[in-house]
Structure 1
């Protein structure tokens, strides 16, 4: 423990200049696969050949490193990216180094039991699929499933006023989730396939995938700083960020007559546990994309959601959108409002939204149109963002992060439309990534400079930070984290002054999947890092 703490303190004091990060900031969509490629692209000529053949760990000549780094730093300064590079991205290096040194303990035996149970479920679902189809076929094969659904059962002929999706290249009937959702009321087989796919993904990705990365009783993910154009971090071995937030209930309904239904709840996050005497603590930015959308659009109705908040933001949003009191909302209205907002933020098209909501494409379009009619400044923001991107060729986040979108001027409508969605998506998501990184940097700085705090940042999952905290420090550290993250409404050094407050929910527990919210009293501002 003393060795780890000493190593973290040493890392925290490091200042590292990484040309790969500089190159990524300049062009986040075009990662150089190796240093030689980076030098060639940004320095304008190949790296000097070494005197001896390069081994896997032998460095290139120092002159190439210096020359390409100077070239990159000059470009950062001329493009207004130096402050983002120096105060945020370079400061993230020791944070991620410390995260990778921390072990996250796993209940390995529980994972094995869950894997075995899911394997049995898959075999049962295969048998039920064969009975429902009246023949044997490979359930995981889209080609064989297409033959059963559309040539043997001819379910497409029973779709009244429904436009089933087709494959992109060959324009065949699709067996995608969106297609199966539209078919599930016509025959038992589509519902069985949907459940089979859910169970298969749970087993292969979230259970067996974690098991393959367990070392004794722990895992330690690799964190990548330069893999996402939005500025977000990514994780691998395992992909910690892909684990579902909510438990997944696998309805083991027996589609064969005479059998009772069975329900199995699987929650991979419950398999992660803190060390003895420590507690997991999670801090989550609440509705951060919606808050950023309110700030960026200055829409008075969206601003009112956060300047005069009620108990549930998305219920208030649905009430505004539908123009009815909250008590008169239909059960699905809140979820529809939430999905429509995020479809705009994440660039989902109306076809995709129809699949998410389980409605027709026409109805999804009506929902979006009525939403934009209600929140007129959102449409204005979308138009301004696209027009500015068409003019200058790139968009920026609230902290100055850039993304070039050369296809924004494409003559191909589909290509141009995708670039337009990416432009809007980047401004919101890139800004959310900026806020989360700044939170990580400030909290890491507070902990590493403290003589008493021992908390460890284990993971970042989009807008959530996961810590391991000594039991005796949970309440104090929770208050410090909440105050620090909410103070990011104003960041003077980067010129950030949000029009709406940030809200952070803090929870704790003995397993990552079983956390309870901590209700903390108002705290004073955090000390300067």
Structure 2
């Protein structure tokens, strides 16, 4: 069938028949671009291509851009989400489960920024956001139903224990404020922080009153900020925001015009990297970037983005590792505390704590992590305070603020 409903029914029905679905997906390019010719209806001038034959891509970004033209791209995206949930949170976790629990393998040198990485399974890749999927529709036309899955809710603490998560709040943005010395950013963190940081940022650079800042505005600001921190290009930012490259460029330029010192900081880092061939984190850890002087403009631009990213994200990694070391030392020398670190997810540390020890341990963690603003032995003095958010709960997926 070639009708919208026909394709929809076929793909939803195929959820229950993986073999038929695999056969259908193997010819998805033929259906999307050969039969439906959606690429000709798209307003995007340069559609992503892949492979040696330079064929049109069926990436997530591509399918998202085609969603308004036909129901099929959305159906394929939904299938991929369902398949990912099954392979990651069912098959993936069961494969490494022993006696009702799992234990990841942690690597201290697996990432270029210095963050810890996990595998078998990758506990860091388990989303904290609930995932909603649509139940397959049937031919009777029943109302659409959704199922909500919270992947982290699968993990529960052992009897008599509670999970305590300690998360550095906006640590990369705080480090960016410290390193750039931008007066507007410094002021944002040096004051009492009565309001939400990203809402305040939105109000500042978009020049709109705080009460008119919407959730969408705030999320847009976060993406612009982290595109600067992570060194993402304009094309990547455009894909994240769901806007044209021209609009993304406008957002970025307007943001950097408001916070001028950020651009100066980036240019200084790139210039120093060109001269030395490497960049350093806030605690002196180096990352060599030999491609910073490459003849190829794309390779050189990539190295320049990596340079800025490492200085900010690598510095955040330094502080997280320092926090782990100090908390471990404090617990090891304590006559009463028995808490243990069970996972590190980027800027968050997850501990398992005896129920009776939660108040004492929570106070210790907050004090240790926030005191890293100033470390005299390492000659570290941040211009902005560090803030830690603490949450507790029996399930990793249902943690409540402490």
Provide TM-score, normalisation by structure 1: 0.71
After the TM superposition, list the runs of 4 or more consecutive aligned residues in structure 1 that deviate by more than 6 angstroms. none
Task: Tell me how far 1:156 sits from its aligned partner.
Answer: 1.2
- Cα distance, 1:394–1:504 mapped onto 2, change above 3 Å: same
**Aligned position for 1:69:** none
Partner of 1:317: 201
- Residue aligning to 2:49: 166
The whole-number CA distance in structure 1 between the counterparts of 2:225 and 2:76 is: 29
Structure 2 CA distance for partners of 1:137 and 1:209, relative to 1, 3 Å: closer
**What is the DSSP-based 3-state SS (H/G/I as helix, E as strand, rest coil) of the residue aligned with 1:383?**
helix
CA shift in 2, pair 1:253/1:370, >3 Å: farther
Q: Could you say which residue in structure 1 is the equivalent of 2:231?
A: 347
Structure 2: distance between partners of 1:137 and 1:349 = 39
Distance 2:365 2:23 in 1: 45
Compare 147-156 and 345-354 and name the one that shifted more: 345-354
Instruction: Give the conservation status (yes or no) of the 8 Å contact 1:282–1:465.
Output: yes
Contact 1:318 1:337 in 2 (8 A): yes
Structure 2: give runs of 5+ residues left out of the alignment.
1-6
Provide the residue aligned with 2:27 in structure 1. Answer: 144
Cα distance in 1 for residues equivalent to 2:53 and 2:96: 38
- Partners of 1:418 and 1:365 lie apart in 2 by 17
The CA deviation at 1:492 is 1.4
In 1, the alpha carbon distance for the partners of 2:79 and 2:139 equals 15
- Cα RMSD over matched residues? 2.1
Provide the residue aligned with 1:17 in structure 2.
none
Q: Pick one of 273, 288, 297 that aligns with 1:389.
A: 273
Answer whether contact 1:129 1:189 (CA < 8 A) is retained.
Answer: no
**CA distance change for structure 1 residues 485 and 151 in 2, over 3 Å: closer, same or farther?**
same
Partner of 2:3: none
What residue in structure 2 maps to residue 303 of structure 1? 186
Contact 2:13 2:136 in 1 (8 A): no
Residue 216, structure 1, aligned to residue 87, structure 2: no
Counterpart of 1:332 in 2: which secondary structure? helix
User: Taking structure 1 as reference, are residues 270 and 331 closer, same or farther at Cα in structure 2, changes over 3 Å only?
Assistant: closer
Task: Please state whether the residue corresponding to 2:27 is helix, strand or coil.
Answer: helix
Alignment of 1:54-453 (within 5 A): 127-128=10-11, 138-139=21-22, 144-161=27-44, 163-167=46-50, 169-252=52-135, 254=137, 258-308=141-191, 309-453=193-337
Q: Given the superposition, is the C-alpha separation of residues 479 and 140 from structure 1 closer, same or farther in structure 2, using an over 3 Å criterion?
A: farther
Q: How far apart are 1:139 and its partner, in Å?
A: 4.9
Q: Give the TM-score taking structure 2 as reference length.
A: 0.93
- Alignment size in residue pairs: 391
Q: 1:329 to 1:488 in 2, by over 3 A?
A: same
The Cα of 1:148 is off from its aligned counterpart by: 1.0
